A and B are shown apart, each in its own frame.
Chain A
Amino acid sequence: MKQFKLFWHKPGGVIGAVMLLVVLFAAIFAPWISPYDPYERVQVEADDILAPPDSEHLLGRDDAGKDVWSQLIHGARVSLLVGFTASFVSMFIGTTVGLIAGYFGGKLDNFLMRIVDFLLVIPDLPLALVIIAVWGRGLWKVILVISLLGWTYTARLVRSQTLSIKERQFILRARAIGANHRRIIINHVLPMVLPLIMAQAVLDISASILAEASLSFLGLGDPTLITWGNMLNFAFERAVSRQAWWFLLPPGFAILWVTLALILIGTSLEEIVNPRIKSHHLFNASRMVSLILPVPPSAEAVKEEP
């Protein structure tokens, strides 16, 4: 844990943290800092539709005449909520699966990893699209679908880490004194895996936010909520031809802002957790390959253990 003090020495991480803080602030204090309540019905006149920015409306108005700036601020709430929740669920599933597979090995491991492989091969967005199209729209459905598709990478990562920890001295000692498996996993293996999980979790959040944005943009978000993806959906359908860039661009940049912040934080965390590796495992070819694909045996001797 003391290692995390190192985080503040990493410029990328610090910038990312500041950027994230801005968004968190907006999300938490949205009702107080936004000039209008975007959920309120408004009386509008024809001129107000897609009105450009002016002194009363910093980013102009949307196709229903509502203030864009307020929507932008409120959009942070849902995006962050989805990101954190979906990521939490998928990390939980992924860690559990990874721990079990790595620790117990054998047929159980094989079986679980086949499921992971299977989910990895199937394209995420089309699957999510199809499920929600059939099942229905709604915030929790979106969160559930995103997390059910996102846990596989964590599972692989945790499994690989568990495999290398499993053979270490203190685990063997714990077994020798008769500690049961559950205890060993929770008290010994998990703490060692945790730092790595945290670094991955941050990146997972960014992926979840992007996933929600894409789904909403394509028309499968929760229609009752204001999310950046939803804003882009409306904007794209109605603002492009009118060149109302004030409605079209800010939500996209907001998504970029948050995602970039999380990626900066995540890569800095990864560097701390694993200083030997000079780049994040997401961007590290042989690690990614050895994590995701079962490496053919003859090549395994040459690849390094992450």
Chain B
Amino acid sequence: MQFDYLLRKVFFAVITLIVVIVFNFFLFRILPGDPVKLLFRNPRLTREAQELIRVQFGLDKPVWLNTERLSAGDIPGALDSQFTAYIHNLLQGELGVSFANRQKVGELLSERVWRTVLLVFSGELMAIVLGVMIGLVAAWRRGTKVDSAALFIGLLTWALPTFFLGIILLILARGILPTGGMVTPGLAEEGSLEYWVDVGRHLILPTLTLAVVSASGYMLIMRSSVVEVLSEAYILTAKAKGLSNTRILFSHALKNAMLPMVTIIALTLGYVVGGAIQVETVFSWPGIGRLIYDSVAKQDYPVLQGAFLLLAISVILANLTADVLYSMIDPRVKVT
């Protein structure tokens, strides 16, 4: 049963991945303006770079299917198209070359990806801890001032655009915490302890921004989940057994209430990524998000294409992981 469930999930993830990859290709070739052709004719590129691009992306070949060769009976040759070249490149990790600085997109992405991972990871961790704790307390003290305060703040932050919260924190923390970048230039040697402390200091505000926005959603959901759980019959049974309120909360209510949270966290990963883009922009955190913002401004399409693919694939895989995780912790799925 668990295997069945997982198989379906994996299958779906694979299909989604395929669709995303194909979509990514078409987005940049079919839509009006054909940016790759634009790329090709970009006067800023040197002749060698242009040749490189032409060969790599097969710009002289047909987009989808080589019908000429097909009608000539040449089946393998029929696949000689831009699309095949794209897949071929993709499998080798070749994502093209940036317009702006002629660096390979693949390199650019792998340089910066860990910074975004660090940010998102810290942010989500903080968000989960905050959200679960406050949600639990609010549900337990339902109807009291604590609950009302939590609800109010929760709704307020839910309505707040992520980037604006970042701006507010930026203004408030001016002078106290670093407000941009990942490190203060020249402060410490890369890799040293001071370096990482410096990174840490720069990480505080962006993480806080990401965390607060996510936490409000988690808090509201956790609260409602706990309230719902507390009205279930087995909680009454636990009370009838003579268990103390704390015991009931932690031994019975918590696990049940947290199960949907796993799913919710997976569901909202897409939003977290969107939030990361905003946060990195506001705080100039040099990750994938900031890269996207800069690339949009510079119309650096290869980078955009590559970054989008990376993000989409990450979210799809993260969702799959969450599904697997869920199947391992909910006994109703695990054993039947």
Using a CB–CB cutoff of 8 Å, the interface residues on chain A facing chain B are 114, 117-118, 120-127, 129-131, 133-136, 206, 210, 213-214, 217-220, 232, 236, 240, 243, 245, 248-249, 252, 255-256, 259-260, 263-264, 267, 278-279, 283-286, 288-289, 292-293, 296, 298-299, 302
Contacts and interface: CB of A to CB of B under 8 A. Distances in A.
Q: Indicate the member of B15, B16, B163, B174 with the most A CB atoms within 10 Å.
A: B163
B270 A124 contact: yes
B10 interface: no
B35 interface: yes
Contacts of B301: 133-134
Interface of B: 1, 5, 12, 15-16, 19-20, 27-28, 31-33, 35, 155-156, 158-164, 167-168, 170-171, 174, 217, 220-225, 227-228, 257, 260-261, 263-264, 267, 269-271, 273-274, 277-278, 281-282, 292-293, 296-297, 299, 301, 304-305, 307-308, 311-312, 315-316, 319, 327, 330, 332-333, 336
Q: Indicate the member of A127, A133, A260, A267 with the most B CB atoms within 10 Å.
A: A133
Contact of A130 (B159, B220, B305): B305
A122 B227 contact: no
B134 to A, nearest CB: 13
Instruction: List the 9 closest A-B pairs by CB distance, nearest first.
Output: A125-B274, A123-B270, A252-B164, A285-B260, A285-B225, A259-B159, A283-B220, A260-B159, A279-B224
A115 B33 CA distance: 27
A191 to B, nearest CB: 28
A155 B332 CA distance: 27
A283 B151 CA distance: 11
A23 to B, nearest CB: 13
9 contacts: A124-B271, A125-B277, A126-B277, A133-B299, A134-B28, A256-B159, A285-B228, A289-B263, A302-B332
Contacts of A206: 159
Contacts of A217: 161, 163, 278, 281
B264 A288 contact: yes
A7 B228 CA distance: 24
A285 B224 contact: yes
A252 B312 contact: no
B258 to A, nearest CB: 9
Interface of chain A, main secondary structure: helix
Given A232-B163, A285-B257, 20 more contacts: A118-B16, A123-B312, A124-B270, A126-B311, A129-B296, A134-B301, A134-B304, A135-B33, A206-B159, A214-B161, A218-B296, A219-B297, A232-B167, A248-B167, A259-B161, A279-B223, A284-B225, A293-B263, A293-B267, A296-B327
Nearest to A294: B8
Contacts of B293: 218-219
Given A126-B273, A278-B227, A289 B1 contact: no
Nearest to B142: A278
B288 to A, nearest CB: 9
A136 B222 contact: no
Contacts of A120: 267, 270
A296 B332 contact: yes
B158 A263 contact: yes
Interface of chain B, main secondary structure: helix
Contacts of A264: 155
Contacts of A219: 293, 296-297
A257 B333 CA distance: 43
Contacts of B274: 123-126, 214
A18 to B, nearest CB: 16
A292 B293 CA distance: 30
Contacts of B257: 285
Contact of B270 (A114, A122, A278, A279): A122
B156 A260 contact: yes
Given A236-B282, A285-B264, A296-B5, A127 B312 contact: yes
Contact of B260 (A123, A126, A131, A289): A289
Contacts of A134: 27-28, 31, 33, 35, 301, 304
A196 to B, nearest CB: 18
Contacts of B305: 130
Contact of A256 (B161, B174, B220, B296): B161
A303 to B, nearest CB: 10
A126 B263 contact: no
Contacts of B228: 284-286
A237 to B, nearest CB: 10
Nearest to B288: A126
A80 to B, nearest CB: 15
A232 to B, nearest CB: 7
A48 to B, nearest CB: 23
A187 B163 CA distance: 44
B225 to A, nearest CB: 4
A10 to B, nearest CB: 14
Contact of B296 (A133, A135, A248): A133
A248 B333 contact: no
B14 to A, nearest CB: 12
A149 B296 CA distance: 20
B336 A298 contact: yes
A124 B312 CA distance: 10
A248 to B, nearest CB: 6
B1 A298 contact: yes
A112 B156 CA distance: 34
A283 B315 contact: no
Given A125-B273, A256-B164, A248 B156 contact: no
Contact of B19 (A118, A123, A285): A118
